[in-house]
Amino acid sequence: MSKLVYLVPLFPLAGFLINGLLRKKLSKSVISIIGCGTVLASFVVSLLIFLDARQEGFETVVVNLFGFISAGSLKIPFAFQVDQLSVLFLLIITGVGFLIHVYSTSYMHDEENEHFARYFSYLNLFVFSMLILVLGANYVIMFIGWEGVGLCSYLLIGFWFKNIDYGNAAKKAFIMNRIGDLGFLIAVFWMINKFGSVGFAEVFTKAPSVPVGILTGITLLLFVGATGKSAQIPLYTWLPDAMAGPTPVSALIHAATMVTAGIYMIARSNIMYTLSPITETVVAITGLATALLAATIALKQNDIKKVLAYSTVSQLGYMFLGLGVGAYTGAVFHVMTHAFFKALLFLGAGSVIHALHEQDIRKMGGLKKFMPITHITFLLACFAIAGIPPFSGFFSKDEILAAAYEKNPIYFIVGVITALMTAFYMFRLYATTFLGKFRGTEEQEHHVHESPSAITIPLIILAILAVVAGFVGIPEVFAKDSHWLQHFLSPIFAGSEKIHQTPGADKSTDLTLMGISVVLALIGVVYAWTKFSKNPELGEPQGFGKILANKWYVDELYDAIIVRPLNAFAKFLNDVVEKSVIDWIVNGVGKTVQYSSRQIRLLQSGQVGGYVLLMVIGIVILFLVEIFIKK
């Protein structure tokens, strides 16, 4: 079954082509069936491959499709790698992707057929690219998918292209992505130089014998690519702006899949990171700082999607923290649970936006009685993200925090403070939106109702997953040998585990840490719930809150440091170099031709005698050339 892995990306690609090329001719139902059906088919194939991979002693399968690049001794085949890590991501991408596709059929229903089809073709293209990314057997194929998801992110963020602001947001996302991609590319080139190959098998076997300095450089550059793609400091400002796209897009791309590409890449390259302790520290500190920064900003945001966006940035920071302290399984675990509850949160927000046509939470409230299913699922997701047991978020977050404590207690302290803030702002969001009095207009109150089943059913499925998904990773303290996920992914991380050799912390420390984080999270939940259901923050933020609400003015800082100087430089190039130098040369050529033609024209005097003279001179020259020069 693993040999048929090429079918998995093939179905969405077909969906992209069909919906894209025939977008003016198909009806909405056909488009929906094609769009969702392809992802469902991929999910089924992924499931079958997963059942294969689940068995003991499953060996990595590399499926070579064709030779892609062959230059001298460098051979890069277009090959897919089926192993536990890629299979897990396949399930997440196709499963959550399918639910979001189904959701989109209802959410985007008001669009015209042509745009509806365009949306689904872009979405299918995105799934295709993401699948290529996780299935690639070498860094180049991964990079193809990497670029592809960046492109689809641009296309989908700027989906409603008639709005200039959305287009600018899309451009911002793409450009910041590209900055990161430069780091990735340089790392790949360096790899080719040092390793002679980019295939995972070759690189990882050769990695221990390469000097640490070089490995550190390569891994740092790869991490730069990851900061762009997964919105870490300093390349994170695109993600909140990317909320300009339709909400299902935010759910799929900016919560569940694309932003996790960076984590996937580092998890895949874990052996190289384990061998470069400096990079690991950089990764951990960057992740931690991002988590903290984003959480502080989310405390004061009033747009429902912006809160979720900063929450995503913050949770991604957690994942990078996990990678940085060597908890690779924990990070991947958090990717999985985050996909479920964050997608659920976004889809729930989409349901609210669809009902009220409003995104400012200060104008919402009391939706509990109008949209029960949305309310319950949203609440479950909030519990999950806050890290309350027994929801999934608790298990994954706790694993990361425990590993962070082992590395350095300060990591744990900062992480736990961030968890407190997470719980606080999430429940602020929940309470302001769903509890209290309804603060919308009369007309909205008339129209608000629960969303149709195409929206609520994915919500329910995701809610179930958000609740139970944690049980695939029950930590040692509770039951021995029941961390199924760790067992499943052990072949991938075996190399790193051997090097790390961390002794397991003793049970009491673990339980204490867990207790601290749970208690703090509960405090945050209760405080926010009670405070905001009674008096929600309706006014404009004041004082320090204003700084938070303005995102610590980071965007303005970037604008001043980078954007304005670049614009000034471009203006200089245009005015001085372009106009004076280049234009002068080009115009000069034209003027020279005109001048010389005017002079040459004087030869045409109309005098016959002159013509004959020229004829004779010509004959003389011809004779000279013919007889004397062309010996």
Binding site for another protein (CB under 8 A): 604-613, 616-617, 619-620, 623-624, 627-628
Nearer to another protein, 582 or 621 (CB): 621
Closer to another protein by CB, 479 or 602: give it. 602
Closest CB 604 distance from another protein, rounded Å: 6
Q: How far is the CB of 591 from another protein (least distance, A)?
A: 25
Q: Smaller CB distance to another protein: residue 66 or 628?
A: 628
Residue type, 240: P
Q: Is the CB of 552 or the CB of 623 nearer to another protein?
A: 623
Residue 553 or 611 having the CB closest to another protein: 611
Q: Which of 504, 461, 513 is nearest to 483 (CA)?
A: 504
CA distances from 492 to 83, 84, 174, 263 (A): 8, 7, 31, 14
CB of 592 to another protein, least distance (A): 25
Task: Tell the smallest beta-carbon distance from residue 622 to another protein (Å).
Answer: 9
Q: What's at 603, amino acid-wise?
A: L
Specify whether the CB–CB gap between 334 and 315 falls below 8 A. Answer: yes
Structure tokens at 203: 């690189």
Residue 74 or 625 with smaller CB distance to another protein? 625
Least Cβ distance, residue 629 to another protein (angstroms): 12
Cα–Cα separations (whole angstroms), residue 341 to 47, 397, 466: 21, 13, 5
Q: What is the DSSP string of 331-379?
A: HHHHHHHHHHHHHHHHHHHHHHHHHHS--BGGG---TTTT-HHHHHHHH
Nearest approach, Cβ of residue 611 and another protein (Å):
8
> Residue 71 or residue 603: which is nearer to another protein going by CB?
603
To another protein, the closest distance from the beta carbon of 600 in angstroms equals: 14
The angle that helices 484-500 and 261-268 make with each other, rounded to 10 degrees, is: 50
Quote the tokens at residue 317: 């920071």
Nearest approach in angstroms of CB 596 to another protein is: 19
Of the pair 449, 601, the CB lying nearest another protein is at 601
Give the nearest distance from C-beta 599 to another protein in angstroms: 16
In terms of CB distance, is 182 or 616 closer to another protein?
616
For another protein, the closer of residues 561 and 616 by Cβ is 616
Give 113's strand partners: none
Closest CB to another protein among residues 69, 615: 615
Orientation angle between helical segments 261-268 and 328-356, nearest 10 degrees: 170
Q: Least distance to another protein from the beta carbon of 584, Å?
A: 35
Question: Residue 74 pairs with which residues in a beta bridge?
Answer: 71
- Min dist CB 595 to another protein, Å, is 20
Handedness of CA 403, 405, 406, 408 (dihedral sign): positive
Which one, 277 or 618, has the nearer CB to another protein? 618
Beta-bridge partner residues of 77: 67
Neighbouring CB atoms inside 10 A of 289's CB total: 16
The span from the CA of 404 to the CA of 421, in Å, is 18
Query: Going by C-beta distance under 8 Å and a sequence separation of 6 or more, which residues neighbour residue 419?
Result: 386, 387, 397, 401, 517, 520, 521, 524
Of 437 and 631, nearer to another protein (C-beta) is: 631
CB of 602 to another protein, least distance (A): 10
- H-helix or E-strand containing 193? helix 164-195
Shortest CA distance to 73 belongs to which of 202, 164, 166, 224? Answer: 202
Burial grade of 103 (CB within 10 A; 0-12, 13-18, 19 or more): buried
Provide the minimum distance between the beta carbon of 597 and another protein in the complex, in angstroms, as a whole number: 16
Q: How far is the CB of 590 from another protein (least distance, A)?
A: 26
Nearer to another protein, 593 or 614 (CB): 614
Q: 262, 283 in Cβ contact below 8 A?
A: no
Min CB(628)–another protein separation in Å: 7
What is the H or E stretch that residue 566 is in? Answer: helix 564-572
User: Closest CB to another protein among 390 and 610?
Assistant: 610
What is the token pair recorded at 198?
């980019």
Tell me which residue of 78, 57, 81, 60 sits closest to 69, measured CA to CA: 78
Q: 3-state class of 77 per DSSP?
A: strand
Number of residues assigned to the chain: 631
DSSP 510-562: HHHHHHHHHHHHHHHHHHHHHHHHHS---S---HHHHHHHTGGGHHHHHIIII
Place of tokens 């900063």: 310
